[in-house]
Amino acid sequence: MKYTVNGSPKVVLSVNEDFMKPADDMARVYKRSEFDPHKGNVIVVDPNKTFQTVDGFGASFTDTAAVVMSAMPKDELDRAMTSLFDKEEGIGINMIRNCIAGSDFAPEYYTYDDMPEGEEDWELEHFDFSHDLKQIVPLTKRAFEMAGDCSLILSPWSPPLWMKDQWIWQAKTNPELREECYEVYAKYLVKSIQAYEEAGLPVNILTVQNEPYALVPWPGMHWDREVLIDFTNKYMRPALNEAGLKTKILNLDHNFNFHYEANSIMENTMESSDGIAYHWYHGQPEQMLSSYDLFPDKLIYVTEASSSTNPCTIQRMANIASKIARSFRSGAGAYVLWNMALDHNGGPTYNNVNVHCSGLLVCNTETGKVSFNMDYYSLGHFSKYVKKGAKRIHSTDTADAEFRLVNAAFLNPDGSVTTVIVNRNAEEEAFCKVLCGDSVIELTLPAASVATLQWKAEI
């Protein structure tokens, strides 16, 4: 089919201290017969060449996020939720990844079956979901109502300490799951999913362990690759099936640089797991391409990404948006950032651990006001204009070795085309020509800027 641009494209631009502002007048549309291929950065967009399906964009209601958001005055919380989940007035995110009990972003560490040291609970008689019912679940349910078509991912950081071979929360000394606890831990994860579903929140995806290879000073657990494969095949998938749950399993849930491990786990769990989850903290998005090439029918998600709290600049926003674009060019079907919100100090967390991360929102608990971080606007350039069910489509790769100019293009279910272009060059503007069928969209992106273009691609 031959596509062309119908009318003037919608353009949204972020530059300097103006974020996601309408900039329709910066684009000029003309016939391809007038096109000069020798000037500018040429981006050919072809809706006929499609790749992976986009399932969504989101972030996490960590315990910390739930605490600070619930402490906001009602009008500020309403504004925050609208800004996050409303498709018209906000950025329309539709995917939530929640922690199974505590994580690094929790004021206190906990699980759903904590026991005194030396005691165990093999029948899970003391399983207690009440902590999350207070703030996390109500916020998640409200998000589901506002988003309309929301997906939920659950990920555990640590099992109850009585299941580990070391009585320790932190993963810094490589605590592992006791072999005799494989079956009861699978049942514990099933009960966690069921607790959410009993609260009216269907769980679409489970990752068996957040960052299984990380040595970190917060809750975690180490998994040997072969053990993770064995647990997924022999315990986790059978436990989900026995409970009648349709929850999918994504393996790894760790950084891009662990793509070899991810591919090996996937190869050996083809019948038990449904895809791979990646984080952005080490390695590069392009390392996901090996997974996309090997397993084109499996899901590939980025399930955690967080920038730092300082400096809060347009350059940082461009860096985040660039990684998102590169991730979709590398086969990602979803992009989920980390904390939905943090307070003005980057917490609160247990013993002030890891307070250098950023959230989408900043909830100032002293003033009672909510402000928006670079993560929010970076994600919004995609989440507001790339709809669930969209297909990534061909667009010319404009990246150099430093990824100073990147782009990604999508065909939405309603027939509109969305193209995001990121100019990370802090010194030079980028003159771009976007070709779609018989039409050319010409625009100049300022230095350090992000632009989203959307147009109806008429046949």
Total number of domains constituting the chain: 2
CATH number at residue 229: 3.20.20.80
User: Is residue 233 domain-shared with residue 343, that is, in the same domain?
Assistant: yes
Same domain assignment for residues 98 and 68: yes
Write out the residue range of the structural domain in which residue 429 sits.
4-53+392-458
Query: Is residue 148 within 8 Å of 87, Cβ to Cβ?
Result: yes
**Whether residue 23 is found in the same domain as residue 122:** no
Q: Is the same domain home to 324 and 449?
A: no
Clarify whether residues 132 and 277 are in a common domain. yes
Say what the pLDDT of residue 308 is. 76
Residue 431, helix vs strand vs coil: strand
Do 396 and 262 share a domain, yes or no?
no
Q: Residue 429 belongs to a domain with what CATH number?
A: 2.60.40.1180
- At residue 310, the pLDDT reads 65
- According to DSSP, the β-strands at 41-53 and 391-395 are antiparallel
> 330 φ, ψ to 5°?
-100, 10
The domain boundary, picked from 385, 413, 432, lies at 385
183 contacts: CB under 8 Å, gap ≥ 6: 235, 239
Domain final residue, candidates 338, 354, 385: 385
Query: 163 and 14 in one domain?
Result: no
Domain boundary among 342, 365, 385: 385
C-alpha–C-alpha distance, residues 6 and 220, integer Å: 52
- Those residues with Cβ within 8 angstroms of residue 119's Cβ, 6 or more apart along the chain or in another chain: 162
Confirm if 329 and 52 have CB atoms less than 8 A apart: no
Query: Residues 329, 242: one domain?
Result: yes
Does 180 share its domain with 300?
Answer: yes
The number of beta carbons lying within 10 Å of the beta carbon of residue 216 is 15
pLDDT value of position 307: 85
pTM exceeding 0.75: yes
**381 and 397 assigned to the same domain:** no
User: Residues 325, 454: one domain?
Assistant: no
290-to-258, 296, 300, 332, 453 alpha-carbon distances in Å: 11, 10, 11, 12, 29
Task: Report mean pLDDT in 10-residue bins for the chain, 459 residues.
Answer: 78 95 96 92 97 98 98 97 97 98 97 97 98 98 96 98 97 96 98 98 98 96 97 98 98 98 98 98 97 98 87 87 98 98 94 89 95 96 98 97 97 97 96 95 97 88
Looking at the structure, do residues 323 and 451 belong to the same domain, yes or no?
no
Contact between 220 and 170 under an 8 Å Cβ cutoff? The reply is: yes
Listed in sequence order, the residues at least 6 apart from 455 whose beta carbon sits closer than 8 Å to its beta carbon are: 5, 6, 7, 8, 9, 10, 416, 417, 436, 441
